[in-house]
Amino acid sequence: MIPRLKPDLSWHEIATLFKINKLDDVPEFECAFATLMGKKHAIFFPYGRTGLLFLLEALGISDQEIICPAYTCVVVPHAIVLSRNEPVFVDSNPEDFNMNWDQVESVTSSNTAAVIATSLFGNPVNLDALKDYMKKNPNVFIIQDCAHSYAASWKGEQVQKVGHAAFYGSNISKIITSIFGGMVTTDDSALADRLHYIRDKRITKSSFKKDIKMRLYLLGAWLTFQDSIYGFTNKLEHLGFLDHFIQYYDENKIDMPIDFLADTTPTQGRIGTIQCKRYSKILIGRKKIANYYNQKLRDLGDLILPSMIEGTTYSHYVVQTKHRKSLMNHALKRGVQLGQLIEYCIPDMPSYQRRTGNRMTYPVASRLSRQTVNLPISLSGSTEKASKVISTLLTFPFN
Ligand SMILES: Cc1ncc(COP(=O)(O)O)c(C=O)c1O
């Protein structure tokens, strides 16, 4: 079975699970990450959403409005609400899945404190539109959500380099992983000091038990994602046995995971450092598969392929079709698991329906939530496996 996602791990990551911890494992990862992103500071948190929560606190934003996409990971507005601010949603562009900048302009008011400029699925945020917005609204903080994009670039300029700060997620579904965790990067040393201060004050020290848990989790994930075993894993997932690991939200609740304040561990730091070193190789593999899909899947029924935007980093290769459910079932029967990553439009979720930041209609986000499907992309550049995915799609009766 070809899984819909898979952490890209080499024997270096597996070998480090058996090593003794060093005091500077996490600082080394922060340093490697800052260098990789071309930023002065990188601060590691238990989750990307914890990083965003503390970033808003460090920027002194409370009781204000923060603009974010209606079509993004729901944990983003969760962090905004839990920071005692109001998320104001805007619709998306059908071409790149990112936020519609005309709408960002139209909802900006004297209550707007920040914009979460998101590069969804690895598609770079339009930096021309963003810079134009920054010129017109110099008092609004720009926070880049790079959880999917890392160093995606727009016309050659990396997205994380524009704005006040950026945050990233690094769980095992991301381009590079630290098992769980998230980074915040910035060039602003005073902001970095405040983030360190808040982290030291609010995060509980990591325990040896958590470190062992992280090692076992990654080892388990590595085994589970082997093609020969994944069929069994998929059955367990179907029966609901894995909900504890994969259910990341409850549509009726705005909350955080129970361990969102439990510190990261040295093993996470070591894994992250190794992954930083392998980032460019991982990216080459993803781009190769994306190009291959784009060549071979043209003109197939109602299938809309992603616009091949230069500088995209392909955290996911996302197509659109009205036949999502039946296509996914068709592929599964043939040993290919497809994914539906963001299958909701946040303003339509019960927990956000009546919030004051839900103030327009979101037709594109709503359509994307029903029609997006992601194809396996983490195949270590293997076009043999990609061919299996392609032939599965080619045999689907689209019409
Ligand atoms: C677009 C986006 N932003 C932010 C996050 C937050 O990352 P984390 O799960 O580490 O809190 C995610 C997580 O998957 C995401 O997909």
Token look-up 């809309």 returns 304
Q: How far is CA 368 from the centre of its chain?
A: 16
Spans in the chain with pLDDT lower than 70? 232, 235-246
Cα(348) to ligand 1 centroid in Å equals 19
The SS3 of residue 206 is: coil
CA separation for the pair 317, 295 (Å, rounded): 13
CA separation for the pair 341, 334 (Å, rounded): 20
Ligand 1 pocket mutation pick from 43, 49, 180, 261 by most atoms within 8 angstroms of CB = 49
Q: Does 46 contact ligand 1 (Cβ within 6 A)? A: no
CA of 118, closest atom in ligand 1: 1
Cα(40) to ligand 1 centroid in Å equals 22
DSSP 47-87: SHHHHHHHHHHHTT--SSEEEEESSS-THHHHHHHHTT-EE
DSSP 163-184: SSEEEEE-STTSSS--SS-EEE
Closest residue to atom 6 of ligand 1, CA basis: 48
Cα(176) to ligand 1 centroid in Å equals 13
**Is there a contact between 22 and 74 (Cβ–Cβ < 8 Å)?**
no
pLDDT in tens, 213-262: 999 999 988 988 887 777 767 766 666 655 556 677 899 999 999 999 99
Q: Does 48 contact ligand 1 (Cβ within 6 A)? A: yes
CA separation for the pair 278, 40 (Å, rounded): 21
User: Which among 316, 271, 347 has a CA at the least distance from the CA of 29?
Assistant: 271
Cα(168) to ligand 1 centroid in Å equals 7
pLDDT in tens, 108-141: 999 999 999 999 999 999 999 999 999 999 999 9
Ligand 1 pocket mutation pick from 33, 66, 73, 254 by most atoms within 8 angstroms of CB = 73
Helix or strand run (H / E) with residue 350:
none
Closest residue to atom 1 of ligand 1, CA basis: 73
Tokens of 13: 């990551």
CA of 181, closest atom in ligand 1: 10
Cα–Cα distances in angstroms (integers) from residue 272 to residues 31, 92, 266, 367, 383, in the given order:
11, 31, 10, 35, 27
**Is there a contact between 279 and 38 (Cβ–Cβ < 8 Å)?**
no
CA of 120, closest atom in ligand 1: 1
Q: pLDDT at position 244, please? A: 56
**What are the residue ranges of helices labelled H in the chain?**
11-16, 25-37, 48-58, 75-82, 101-107, 127-136, 189-202, 208-224, 227-238, 243-246, 266-296, 324-333, 363-371, 383-394
